[in-house]
Amino acid sequence: MPTGPAAGDEGKIKGVRAYLQEHFPGYEVDHFPKGHKVAEVFRVVDRGRVVHQLYVSRKFMDRAADAASLIDALTVAGVVGRMRNVGATTIELY
């Protein structure tokens, strides 16, 4: 049984990575799945050190029809500001 992104999630994942890259220029943005399709984790990294981390649950991802609506949901949730405020502490979206 595959453990990668669910069908249609690749575009959402690319969208979130681009969104974070736009808001954290000069940093690397990486991503990995958590558990068996439980969530996606995005990290903003500076020279190998995680400076911000975002956990997006499957349920949160599935509520978005596409990458654009997922980015809208991240914006409404104030994710970028929250990430800046808490540093390396993980922001979790359920």
Residue range 43-72: average pLDDT? 97
User: Are the beta carbons of 29 and 43 closer than 8 angstroms?
Assistant: yes
Specify the pLDDT at position 85: 98
The Cα 60–Cα 88 span in angstroms is 21
Residue range 85-94: average pLDDT? 97
> Which amino acid type is present at position 54?
L
> Does the pLDDT value for residue 24 go beyond 90?
yes
Specify the pLDDT at position 3: 47
Residue range 60-75: average pLDDT? 97
The Cα 93–Cα 16 span in angstroms is 13
What is this structure's pTM?
0.90
> For residues 38, 43, 91 and 20, what is the CA-based torsion angle, rounded to 10 degrees?
-110
Report domain extents, the chain: 9-93
